[in-house]
Amino acid sequence: MTSLSERISQSAFDGSRLRVVLLLDLHDGAQQRFLEAYEHLRNQVASVPGHITDQLCQSIENPSQWLITSEWESAPPFLAWVNSEEHVKMVQPLHACVRDTRSLRFSVLRETSNVSALAPEPLKGRLQAAPRVGDGVVRHALTFTVKPGSEEKVAEILAGYTSPEARVDDTTRLRRTSLFMHGNRVVRAVEVQGDLVAALRHVSRQPEIRAVEEAINPYLEQDRDLGDPDSARVFFTRAALPAVHHVAAYGAPPEGVRRHALLYPAKEGCGMPLARMLARQDELAADDASCPVAGSTVFQRDDIVVRLVDLKIPLDADPLLSLGVRGPRKAAVLRRLLDIDVAGGLSTDREVASFLARSDMTLITDRRAPDA
């Protein structure tokens, strides 16, 4: 068995309360307009399921710096809201006032209150039970679709880019970029040591990356203008595919490990339950020292679920294990969460192997920094 202290782990599914911190730098003179826009929106935010409270703060040292903190019952309801089309439209009036933003998200591990003001005993599981061990790496993905018939051309463009300089600054560097396609869907997963936002901005400014992004623009199903900050922001907001769970053995992966990406066709409304089920299965696999899964990351947004898995064995050597399922009973659970019209049956070994082959995304490029 692998102990919790011997593996790195992150998860949105531990049931603990979530604290979200949004740092904002406003345009000069936009403070009153921003406050009015916030006042208009805050009642809408308060009605979102899972929301507990929020505070709007202004710096006493620099009036252009603002802070919004919010508390949520757990991470899943926040993620469902922040990644929704409703949220994109709701916050649109604020962006005209904002020069720069940064969002930070934390599970609540411990809290201290005035004894006289203590609320009733909190529900079990409301606080994160134990600290998780990290490796200093932030994992994130983007996904978008291209026009049918353009897949081969897009794959050629994406495979041929020149890697940007890995070093961003003294504390941030790009470690790995893995790019996959499944039909006309593109998934780009990145691993960053340090500040994800700084790394993404660094990459977006590189001429070779700008050239690739401009080259695929005509083939995108969702139009975008990278020269227009609002258009670019909306595109990348909609394309965000957050990592909701990651687990791996602590230290460098063993030799011979191969990375795969699997796209799971979730039944409508079942994206998050499916991601949670895969996360739980990967936690169990990590407890088994003999398991050939070296690490896995589950990405989820709405009903888009992608699982990045690093395997010590060929993908088809153990189809159920590769799919993140331990035993036939869990295969039945997986089947209930999938769009069977797309996935097909999962009742026989042949059907499981066929589904695995259809879920396996095509690797376009997988690039590591020299010392990653």
pLDDT in tens, 263-275: 999 999 999 999 9
Confidence label for 252 from pLDDT (cuts 50, 70 and 90): low
Nearest to 273, CA basis, from 333, 324, 322: 333
Lowest mean pLDDT among 109-123, 151-165, 324-338: 109-123
Which pLDDT score, from 0 to 100, does residue 269 have? 93
Banded model confidence at residue 341, pLDDT cuts 50, 70, 90: confident
Does residue 86 have a pLDDT over 60?
yes
Task: Read off the pLDDT band of 251 (50, 70, 90).
Answer: low
Question: Cα dist. 258→48, 178, 253, 353 in Å?
Answer: 41, 12, 10, 18
Q: What is the pLDDT of residue 116?
A: 55
Cβ contacts of 34 within 8 Å, gap of 6 or more:
24, 26, 66, 94, 97, 98
d(CA 310, CA 297): 9
* Confidence category of residue 344, pLDDT binned at 50, 70, 90: confident
Q: Residue 37 carries which DSSP code?
A: H
Evaluate whether 130 touches 6 at the Cβ level (below 8 Å): no
Q: Closest by alpha carbon to 209, among 180, 230, 179?
A: 179
To the nearest whole percent, how much of the chain has pLDDT over 70? Answer: 94
Instruction: For residue 170, give the nearest of 190, 194, 191, 192 by alpha carbon.
Output: 194
Q: CA geometry: angle at 224 spanning 221 and 228, to 5°? A: 175
Cα distances from 359 to residues 119, 226, 282, 322, 340, in angstroms, run 48, 31, 17, 11, 13
Q: Does the pLDDT of residue 303 top 80, yes or no?
A: yes
Sorting pLDDT into bands at 50, 70 and 90, what band is 335? very high
- The secondary structure of residue 360, as a DSSP letter, is B
d(CA 326, CA 282): 9
Kindly report the length of the chain. 372
User: Boundaries of CATH 3.30.70.100 in the chain?
Assistant: 15-108, 137-367
- For the segment 79-105, the average pLDDT, to the nearest whole number, is 89
Contact 102, 31 (CB under 8 A): no
What would the pLDDT profile of 9-60 be if each residue is shown by its tens digit?
Answer: 899 998 999 999 999 999 999 999 999 999 988 888 889 999 999 999 999 9
Residues 153-181 have a mean pLDDT of 92
Alpha-carbon span 268 to 62, nearest angstrom? 46
With contact defined as beta carbons under 8 Å apart, do 352 and 323 qualify?
Answer: yes
Instruction: Tell me the pLDDT band of 205, cut-offs 50, 70 and 90.
Output: confident
- The C-alpha atoms of residue 3 and residue 250 are separated, in whole angstroms, by 10
**Average pLDDT value over all residues in the chain:** 89
CA neighbor of 200 nearest in space, from 143, 159, 134, 142: 142
- Please say if the pLDDT value at position 317 is more than 90: yes
Residue 50 near residue 77, CB atoms below 8 Å: yes
Assess whether pLDDT exceeds 90 at residue 7: no
Mean pLDDT of 322-326: 91
Sheet containing 51-58, strands listed edge to edge, beginning at the edge strand earlier in sequence = 51-58, 65-72, 18-26, 98-107
CB-neighbour burial class of residue 312 (10 A; exposed 0-12, middle 13-18, buried 19+): middle
For residue 245, pLDDT over 90 is answered with yes
- Strands (E) in the chain, as ranges, are 7-11, 18-26, 51-58, 65-72, 98-107, 137-145, 173-182, 185-193, 240-249, 258-265, 293-301, 304-311, 362-368
pLDDT at 117: 52
Among 104-118, 219-233, 250-264, which is the least confidently predicted range? 104-118
Dist. CA 35–CA 148, nearest whole Å? 44
15-108 belongs to CATH 3.90.550.10: no
Confidence at residue 1, expressed as pLDDT on a 0 to 100 scale: 43
Q: Is 93 or 245 the better-scoring residue by pLDDT?
A: 245
137-367 folds as Alpha-Beta Plaits (3.30.70)
**Residue-wise burial string across 45-63, b where 16 or more C-beta atoms lie within 10 A, e elsewhere:** beebebbeebebeeeeeee
Kindly state the average pLDDT of the residues 313-335.
90
Predicted pLDDT of residue 16: 92
What confidence tens digit (pLDDT) does each residue in 93-130 have?
Answer: 888 899 988 999 999 998 887 655 555 555 434 788 88
CA dihedral 250, 78, 127, 333 (to 10 degrees): -70
**Is 95 strand, coil or helix?**
helix
